[in-house]
Chain A
Amino acid sequence: MGKVLENEAFGLAAKDESGVLTPFSFSRRETGEKDVRFKVLFCGICHTDLSMAKNEWGFTTYPLVPGHEIVGVVTEVGTKVTKFNTGDKVGVGYMSRSCLSCDSCSDGEENYCPKMILTAGAKDYDNTMTHGGYSDHMVCAEDYIIRIPENLPLDGAAPLLCAGVTVYSPMKYHGLDKPGMHIGVVGLGGLGHIGVKLAKAMGNKVTVISTSDRKRDEAINRLGADAFLVSRDPKQMEDAVGTMDGIIDTVSATHPLLPLLGLLKYKGKLVMVGAPEKPLELPVMPLIFGRKMVVGSMIGGIKETQEMMDMAGKHNITADIELISADYVNTAMERLAKADVKYRFVIDVANTLKPTP
């Protein structure tokens, strides 16, 4: 690892539970022999950034520089770096380090390593806090850097680093990536809209499940979903009972699971990727009588993040974004809290983030 904290950096940080982001100067380590240093071009705003900025989960350390959907261009590589060169377009997602020696790390599941370090807001192995991509540049170990395919626009690719792999990983792990399968996607936000695109690219039939009819036209005509189901309409739900092989549930608010379990076919799988804070009610009988399961998932390993990114490159999949300037970020956070975005904010960091005065 390089010398600790010698290079100046600037960004936006939340300083208290109001979650309001303001200019913040800090420093980053020298580029170590296995590090990649890159200038940040774009950074996506994930709902997790909002939850962490406001300390909703109770483990935020301030000041917090959020941002884990980070895309940029390499400016320096360490002497032992083999996979990247200056000028490469790269990205970093939700994690920036893991122990590399436990079973999870050996199996390419660094995201489940008990010593996994978050890219933003965690204490790194050298006891310094990690600061995320709402900043001018990043330094990151080579093992956690993702190459962005040449053909993908960088701003639209950034959200894939979290939202993309978060949906991709459980679909592969639970065998929901087979062409012809019927996948439901609950919630049409950052995760949901990418879920639709990835599932279509995998050859699935996709039904979006939403609480209102408002998003039907977009879901079908713009995002490519095959069908749209309003969960508050009993007739629509009844007609769809027992039709889905899997459901990706991206909803982070409390919501009923019973109707979703009913939509699953025998041995169907309900994948929870939006993590409601309070426990949900789990009716056990539908699980038992249909041999169904409820599973959780969190991002994905590095190898599979790269795999997902390459697949996105092959199928020209990017997020639908609203590009914003750095000084809009607090307004964006307020709008995100109301789900008022189609479907991900991305900060135009390089062009709009000014050094701290």
Chain B
Amino acid sequence: MAKSPETEHPNKVFGWAARDKSGLLSPFNFSRRDNGENDVTVKILFCGVCHTDLHTIKNDWGYSYYPVVPGHEIVGIATKVGKNVTKFKEGDRVGVGVITGSCQSCESCDQDLENYCPQMSFTYNAIASDGTKNYGGYSENIVVDQRFVLRFPESLPSDSGAPLLCAGITVYSPMKYYGMTEAGKHLGVAGLGGLGHVAVKIGKAFGLKVTVISSSPAKEEEAISQLGADSFLVTTDPQKMKAAIGTMDYIIDTISAVHALYPLLGLLKVNGKLIALGLPAKPLELPMFPLVLGRKMVGGSDIGGMKETQEMLDFCAKHNITADIELIKMDEINTAMERLAKSDVKYRFVIDVANSLSPP
């Protein structure tokens, strides 16, 4: 007989889950495994709300396995460490991001690219190597193999540092991989949400000139005075868009809705690179002439490996980069999801798990 979520593992845990594609989250009792010799048990303090959480609870991509406990921007305290664990001890402040498993023996894993391992498993809504389902950070605690636990730098606050575990690495990794870190070059950031606002900050930390590309003129003032962008380009202003043609070395495209690539490609210089990070539900239209005539590129990227994620956290600590967040209680999550669907957040919700998640 199939075990229920509550009895699957020996240790009862409480969290919030979505049970169907309405995406409505509500209290959920489940269980987690014992802390194995390679594991770290993390009492969760804060968990960021990523747009992927919203896509998953609503089954936008067609592969949600309900009930889903989302959450992959987790910061907490190690309460138990297995006997083989060397990097962490009880009481350490740690982070858990988007992935919690990989084969640990393939070429990708050997190169610290666990995120590209064909057997990589996500922190939530995935099947672990033991065949059981993974549940994420909208819960009291999580048990994770030490390889997938990150040391949280001293100077990074737990709440505003949490979103870096997905948004931060999602932006940092392609900037390094695609060579988009040359000081003085011009970076465009399309879309100013969770990913976008972190991209502005990381771009500035690399010494780039940063232009935010957005369809909302209302975001201009904040983008410049609060986030540190050098300029702001409204996509619905044809004159300004024309004047900006061929001025950018790189564009980080964080827009998750279907949108036109043609005007963005036009903003790139020859040899320019557009990195697509948003996950629209449908394909985009890719015009060929701009690519061919300007040797331009559209590339993708998927979070980062564990080593690089640690590097990113340390980089952000050094440059005082945190997310701009709105702290919410667990029982405010459904309202937060509605607002997130309308991009009504500056710029990431973070759940104050430890102080607001309580069993009924």
Contact A275-B295, Cβ < 8 Å, known A266-B108, A284-B280, A284-B300: no
Do B298 and A287 touch (CB < 8 A)? yes
Are B300 and A292 interface neighbours, CB within 8 A? yes
How far does the alpha carbon of A302 sit from the alpha carbon of B277 in the complex, in Å?
36
Task: Report the minimum CB–CB distance from A115 to chain B (whole Å).
Answer: 12
Distance between A179 CB and nearest chain B CB, rounded to angstroms: 19
List, in ascending order, chain B residues with CB within 8 A of A266's CB.
108, 116
Contacting residues, chain A, for B299 (C-beta < 8 A): 287, 291-294
Residues in A neighbouring B183, C-beta threshold 8 A: none
Supposing A275-B289, A282-B286, A283-B283 touch, asked if A112 and B298 sit within 8 A by C-beta, the answer is no
In the complex, A109 Cα to B271 Cα: how many Å? 10
Complex alpha-carbon distance, A170 and B287, angstroms: 18
The interface residues of chain A lying within 8 Å CB-to-CB of B291 are: 272, 294-296
Least CB separation from B271: chain A residue:
A112
B286–A279 touching, CB < 8 Å: yes
Quick check: is A104 within 8 A (CB to CB) of the other chain?
yes
Determine if B354 is an interface residue (Cβ-Cβ < 8 Å).
Answer: no
A75 to nearest B CB, angstroms?
34
**How far, in angstroms, from A285 to B62 measured CA to CA in the complex?**
13
For residue A298, which residues in chain B have a CB less than 8 angstroms away from its CB?
A: 292-293, 295
Closest to A258 in B: B283
- A287 partner residues in chain B, CB cutoff 8 A: 276, 298-300
Residue A286 interfacial (CB < 8 Å):
yes
Chain A residue nearest in CB terms to B303? A288
Q: How many angstroms from the CA of A297 to the CA of B300 in the assembled complex?
A: 18
Contact with B along A286-315 (1 / 0, CB 8 A): 111111111111100000000000000000
Which residue of B is nearest A57, CB measured?
Answer: B289
Question: Knowing A286-B300, A288-B301 touch, does A281 contact B285 (C-beta < 8 A)?
Answer: yes
> Closest residue to A284 on the B side, CB-wise?
B276
Asked whether, in the complex, the Cβ of B276 is within 8 Å of the Cβ of A279, the reply is no
Q: Is the C-beta of B153 less than 8 angstroms from some C-beta in chain A?
A: no
* Residues of chain B within 8 A of A258, CB atoms compared: 283
- Which residues of chain B (286-321) have a CB below 8 Å from chain A? 286-302
Asked if B270 is at the interface (CB within 8 A of a chain A CB), the reply is yes
Closest chain A CB from B26 CB (angstroms):
30
Beta-carbon nearest neighbor of B300 in chain A: A287
> Does A280 interact with chain B (Cβ within 8 Å)?
yes
Give CA–CA (A273, B292) in the complex, Å.
7
Q: Is A279 in contact with B288, judged by CB distance below 8 angstroms?
A: yes
Q: Which label, helix, strand, loop or mixed, suits the secondary structure of the B interface?
A: mixed
Rounded to whole angstroms, the CA-CA distance of A276 and B288 in the bound complex is 6
Q: Given A291-B299, A293-B299, A295-B295, check contact A284 B278 (CB 8 Å).
A: yes
| A291 and B286 within 8 A (CB) | no
Task: Flag if A272 contacts B280 (CB, 8 Å).
Answer: no
Known: A284-B276, A291-B302. A173 touches B295 (CB 8 A): yes
Other-chain residue from B270, B290, B298 in contact with A104 (beta carbon distance below 8 A):
B270
Asked if B288 contacts A275 (CB within 8 A), the reply is yes
Q: Is B341 an interface residue when CB atoms closer than 8 A count as contact? A: no
Which residues of chain A have C-beta atoms less than 8 A from B116's C-beta? 266-267, 290-291
**Docked pose: A234 CA to B280 CA in angstroms:** 26
In the complex, chain A residues 234-279 whose Cβ is within 8 Å of any chain B Cβ? 257-258, 266-267, 272-273, 275-277, 279
Q: Which residue of B lies closest to A287 (CB)?
A: B300
Residue of A nearest to B270 (CB): A112
A:11-60 near B, CB below 8 Å: none
Q: Are A296 and B290 in contact (CB under 8 A)?
A: yes
Indicate if B279 sits at the interface (CB-CB under 8 A): yes
Contacts of A104 in B (CB 8 A): 270
Instruction: Assess whether B156 is interfacial by the CB under 8 Å rule.
Output: no
- CB contacts (< 8 Å) of B277 on chain A: these are 288
Which chain A residues border B290 with CB–CB below 8 Å? 296
Cβ-based interface call for B234 (8 A):
no
Complex CA distance for A257 and B287, rounded to whole angstroms: 12
The docked-state distance in angstroms from the alpha carbon of A105 to that of B50 is 44
Identify which of B262, B271, B283 contacts A284 (C-beta below 8 A). Answer: B283
- The distance from the CB of B44 to the nearest CB of chain A, in whole angstroms, is 27
The interface residues of chain A lying within 8 Å CB-to-CB of B295 are 109, 112, 170, 173, 295-298
Q: How far is the CB of B243 from chain A (nearest CB, A)?
A: 16
CB of A295 within 8 A of CB of B296, answer yes
* Complexed CA–CA distance, A258 and B284 (Å): 12
Q: Which one of B108, B279, B297 lies within 8 Å of A293 (CB-CB)?
A: B297
Q: Contact between B279 and A285 (Cβ–Cβ < 8 Å)?
A: yes
B261 within 8 A of A: yes
- The reply to whether B276 and A296 form a contact with Cβ atoms under 8 Å apart is no
A 144-179 binary contact with B (CB < 8 Å = 1; else 0): 000000000000000000000000001001000000
How far, in angstroms, from A258 to B282 measured CA to CA in the complex? 12
Given contacts A282-B285, A290-B116, A291-B177, contact A275 B292 (CB under 8 A): yes
CA distance A286 to B302 in the complex (A): 10
- On chain B, the residues within 8 Å of A293 by CB distance are 297-300
B297: which of A112, A281, A295 is its contact (CB, 8 Å)? A295
Q: Are B300 and A296 in contact (CB under 8 A)?
A: no
Q: How far is the CB of A280 from chain B (nearest CB, A)?
A: 5
13 A-B pairs, CB-CB below 8 angstroms?
A277-B288, A287-B300, A288-B277, A288-B301, A288-B302, A289-B302, A290-B302, A291-B174, A292-B299, A293-B297, A293-B300, A295-B295, A295-B296
If A272-B291, A284-B278, A296-B290 are given as contacts, then 12 extra A-B residue pairs at C-beta distance below 8 Å, sorted by A number, are A272-B292, A277-B288, A280-B285, A282-B285, A282-B298, A284-B279, A288-B277, A288-B302, A291-B116, A295-B291, A295-B296, A298-B295
- Residues of B at under 8 Å CB distance from A? 108, 116, 174, 177, 261-262, 270-271, 276-280, 283-302
What 6 pairs across the A-B complex have the smallest Cβ distances?
A: A287-B300, A296-B291, A293-B299, A296-B292, A288-B300, A282-B286
